[in-house]
């Protein structure tokens, strides 16, 4: 599990997750821009937050994103 921009908070999160029964083999802090996958995940999470909040631009893009993900999963 990688936490970005919160290196000082990683131990606190780890304790909380372990207290809830989540097994953590490896945790580390990371800079926000250190990985293309982290940037992609962050962008998708931000977009989904906007979609849930009902931002008008997200409707058509959400359909396109869902279709693309389904095609990639095949």
Q: What are phi and psi of 2, to 5 degrees?
A: -115, 130
pLDDT at 53: 93
Enter the pTM of the model: 0.48
Question: For the chain, what are the domain ranges?
Answer: 1-32, 35-74
Instruction: Look at 4 and 18; give whichever has higher pLDDT.
Output: 18
34 DSSP assignment: S
What are the Cα distances from residue 38, in Å, to 3, 30, 44, 60, 64? 9, 9, 10, 24, 21
Beta strands per DSSP E along the chain: 2-4, 28-30
pLDDT at 32: 57
- Please check whether residue 3 is in contact with residue 9, taking contact to mean a CB–CB distance below 8 angstroms: yes
Q: What are 4's strand-pairing partners?
A: 30
Each residue of 17-56: pLDDT tens digit? 889 888 777 666 566 566 787 788 888 888 889 989 999 8
């Amino acid at each position: 599990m990688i936490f970005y921009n919160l290196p000082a908070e990683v131990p606190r999160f780890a304790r909380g997750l372990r207290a809830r029964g989540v097994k953590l083999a490896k945790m580390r802090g990371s800079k926000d821009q250190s990985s293309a996958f982290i940037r992609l995940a962050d962008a998708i999470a931000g977009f989904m937050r906007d979609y849930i909040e009902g931002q008008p631009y997200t409707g058509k893009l959400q359909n396109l994103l869902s279709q693309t993900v389904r095609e990639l999963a095949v």
